[in-house]
Amino acid sequence: MSDIPLLPNHQSGPKKLTPEQENQQLKKIIRELGLKVTQQRMDILRIVKAGDRHFTAQDIFEAVSETNTSIGFATVYRFLKALSAKAFVTEVRMGGMPARYEWSSQEHHDHLTCTVCGKVVEFENDEIEKLQEEVAKSLGFILTDHILELFGVCSSTHCQKVYKSAPES
Amino acid sequence: MSDIPLLPNHQSGPKKLTPEQENQQLKKIIRELGLKVTQQRMDILRIVKAGDRHFTAQDIFEAVSETNTSIGFATVYRFLKALSAKAFVTEVRMGGMPARYEWSSQEHHDHLTCTVCGKVVEFENDEIEKLQEEVAKSLGFILTDHILELFGVCSSTHCQKVYKSAPES
DNA sequence: ATTATTTTGATAATGATTCTCAAGTTCAGG
DNA sequence: CCTGAACTTGAGAATCATTATCAAAATAAT
Ligand SMILES: [Mn+2]
Ligand SMILES: [Mn+2]
Ligand SMILES: [Zn+2]
Ligand SMILES: [Zn+2]
């Protein structure tokens, strides 16, 4: 949807890949899932992996349709499910709205989602992470994972207006 | 992990109310919403307000049906929506699961869950809450809600042993 | 009581996601 | 290159939670 810049997808590794090299990468991933390589899966994977945004199934469906392949929603959902089952992609869900998917980057981050337009902003905050560790430790736990999702209203005039005109909180 | 464990509603004030007093309380709330007092609304409110857990619309529908009144799902959803619009109840929507509602008077809390035995500990950390506000503000958002779930291994010898001997995940 | 205003609930509609299954594709082996 | 068994696809039906419709019923101000 919109385009307020976030954490840029700052990759560190080399990203000069020939199309053929990229294809080999994608195929390798598909095979790691124990699945057959199909045009649809290649297309979906290319989009999700290359993108620096959070895609909905609809986004991916449209993107794949645009290029060449005819594809069904079922295929998109099926493959995304397989990818997130093996943690290649992360599924971000917010009540009511369609799920969003992103390539699982190595870098940890949390999400701030606009409850009006669905925009997702990534952030990472070392202080919060540290406090989480402390909380866990103080309760006798070894912390192994966490989910932090913030919800709010983004700065777009549209969303601000909707928020202010809504029944007051 | 099938159920959503929560704070027992460890009481705050005096809760010795005659049925009539309780009814007056409930009516007052309904009128504060600018709505007419109906049997259905009384029933729904009584359940949500008294409960010590998170209810789904289904839960409430069943509970009300059991007692006396015939009631429709639409009525449950409508009234819950009105209640959460005015923040009398909190709506929690996660993933694809049905929304859950809880009376808002409970202290805010987050959860720390043992991934081995499933034990859930609640905690509350003002510093984290404050940092969340700051993060949202710095990204131009008005923060309206958040979900913070920590996962780890609790201090029980059993869970510690399982954790140490487990192959890495 | 009267009656204007709300509310209700059965049922249809919605929207995201999943399921079904006939037809099409992939790929290991020959 | 063929073949065929196993896998995959996509159109459409099915689910599931939630919302919208709307005529009939309940509420509350007069
Ligand atoms: Mn992200
Ligand atoms: Mn919290
Ligand atoms: Zn927004
Ligand atoms: Zn444990």
Nearest CB neighbour to A96, from listed B87, B93, B163: B93
Phi then psi for residue B23, to 5 deg, are: -55, -40
pLDDT band at A145 (very low <50, low <70, confident <90, very high): confident
Task: Name residues whose C-beta falls within 8 Å of residue A47's C-beta, 6 or more positions apart in sequence.
Answer: A55, A60, A63, A64
Confidence check: pLDDT of A2 > 80: no
DSSP per-residue string spanning A52-99: SS-EEHHHHHHHHHHHS----HHHHHHHHHHHHHTTSEEEE--TTSPP
- Mean pLDDT in residue range B81-100: 88
Query: Would you state the structure tokens that stand for residue A21, as one six-digit string?
Result: 């090299």
pLDDT at A14: 53
* Residue of B37 and B118 predicted with greater confidence: B37
The answer to whether the beta carbon of residue B76 comes closer than 7 angstroms to any atom of strand D is no
Out of A38-42, B9-13, B144-148, least confident range: B9-13
Which whole-number Å values give the CA distances from A149 to A86, A114, B97, in the listed order? Answer: 21, 11, 16
Please check whether strand D approaches the CB of B99 to within 7 Å: yes
**Number of A–B residue contacts, CB under 8 Å:** 121
Q: Which of the residue ranges A15-24, A47-56, A69-78 would you say has the lowest mean pLDDT?
A: A15-24
Those residues whose C-beta lies under 8 Å from the C-beta of residue B62, and which sit 6 or more positions away, are none
Contact B145 A151 (CB under 8 A): yes
Task: Give whichever of A77-81, A114-118, B85-89 has the largest mean pLDDT.
Answer: A77-81
Would the pLDDT of B130 be above 80?
A: yes
Cα of B9 from ligand 4 centre, angstroms? 23
Q: What is the pLDDT of residue A10?
A: 47
Q: What is the predicted pLDDT for the residue at A166? A: 63
Asked if residue A16 has pLDDT above 90, the reply is no
Q: What is the pLDDT of residue B166?
A: 63
Q: What is the mean pLDDT of residues A28-53?
A: 94
d(Cα A21, Cα A14) in Å, to the nearest integer? 12
Q: pLDDT band for position A112 (50/70/90)? A: very high
pLDDT, position B79? 98
CA A72 to C1' D4 (Å) is: 26
pLDDT of residue A1: 41
| 3 state DSSP class of A142 | strand
B169 pLDDT above the threshold of 80: no
Chain mean pLDDT for chain A: 86
Q: Which domains does chain A have, with CATH numbers?
A: 19-100 (1.10.10.10), 107-165 (3.30.1490.190)
Contacts of B155 (CB under 8 A, 6+ apart): A140, A141
pLDDT at site A106: 67
Query: Ligand 2 center to residue B151 CA distance, Å?
Result: 14
B108, B124 contact by CB (below 8 A): yes
Q: Which nucleotides of C are covered by protein (CB under 7 A)?
A: 6-11, 15-20, 25-27
Please give the average per-residue pLDDT across B151-156, as a whole number: 90
Q: Express each pLDDT in B56-67 by its tens digit.
A: 999 999 999 998
How confident is the model over B4-26, as pLDDT tens digits?
A: 344 444 444 556 788 888 999 99
Looking at residues B83-87, what average pLDDT do you find? 93
In the predicted model, is pLDDT for residue A125 greater than 60? yes
Kindly report which amino acid residue has its CA closest to the C1' atom of nucleotide D27. B36
Residue corresponding to tokens 């700052």: A10
According to the model, what pLDDT value does residue A107 have?
79
Q: What is the predicted pLDDT for the residue at B117?
A: 79
Nearest alpha-carbon partner for B146 in B134, B156, B159:
B134
Q: Is the pLDDT of residue A5 over 70?
A: no
Average pLDDT on B59-86 reads 94
pLDDT of residue B19: 83
Range from B22-36, B85-99, B111-125, B155-169 that averages highest in pLDDT: B22-36
Statement: the CB of B81 is under 7 Å from strand D: yes
> What is the pLDDT at residue A158?
85
pLDDT for B162 equals: 86
Query: What are the CA-CA distances from residue B89 to residues A18, A34, A46, B84, B123 (Å)?
Result: 55, 46, 43, 5, 20
pTM of the model: 0.75
